[in-house]
């Protein structure tokens, strides 16, 4: 999570919102819109069973961007929010943790594909899709399927 903090998306979202507002596109397609959640106690067991435990929102990149875009009234709304990749693991924030692998807590990343529509633009049954072929990566020897759309 230290690296996520260092990327400073809350500040970067201002520049992104300014660019969108200045160009005024009818629709904006966004990929890999991160939702970072944490849980206070590191535990690998639930993830291996497919049960997420990290539910405390640390960063919701979509909400941060919408807040900046709509600071002076609603200009854009999300018409599609499609969760894709979702992965949770123990993290070690301070280097001194005593839990699993020295972890201090769990962190969960959900990547979403999003379509934003400008105020006044009508959409009808907007959709998104997921590719049939999955990217598979190995994290500490565990195969992880990465869905993408």
pLDDT digit string, tens, across residues 75-130: 999 999 999 999 888 888 777 756 566 777 888 999 999 999 999 999 999 888 88
List strand residue ranges (DSSP E) for 3-134, in order.
27-39, 56-60, 76-91, 105-118
**CA–CA dist 46, 107 (Å, integer):** 12
Q: Is the pTM of this model over 0.75?
A: yes
- Examine the pLDDT at 62 and tell me if it is beyond 70: yes
In the chain, what is the straight-line distance between the N-terminal and C-terminal CA atoms, in Å?
Answer: 25
The candidate with the shortest Cα–Cα distance to 17, out of 61, 59, 81, is: 61
Which has more confidence, 82 or 139? 82
Cα three-residue angle 16-19-24, rounded to 5 degrees: 125
pLDDT of residue 139: 77
% residues pLDDT > 70 (the chain): 91
**CA–CA dist 107, 127 (Å, integer):** 29
């Amino acid at each position: 999570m230290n690296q996520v903090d260092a990327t400073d998306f809350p500040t970067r979202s201002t520049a992104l919102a300014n660019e969108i507002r200045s160009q005024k596109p009818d629709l904006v397609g966004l990929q890999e819109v991160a939702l970072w959640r944490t849980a206070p106690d590191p535990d690998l067991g639930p993830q291996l069973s497919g049960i997420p435990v990290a539910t405390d929102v640390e960063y919701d990149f979509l909400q941060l961007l919408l807040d900046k875009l709509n600071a002076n009234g609603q200009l854009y709304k999300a018409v599609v929010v499609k969760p894709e990749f979702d992965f949770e693991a123990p993290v070690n924030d301070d280097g001194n943790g005593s839990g699993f692998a020295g972890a201090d807590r769990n962190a969960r990343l959900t990547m979403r594909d999003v379509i934003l529509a400008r105020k006044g633009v009508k959409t009808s049954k907007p959709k998104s899709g997921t590719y049939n072929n999955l990217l598979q990566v190995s994290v500490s020897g565990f195969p992880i399927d990465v869905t993408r759309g």
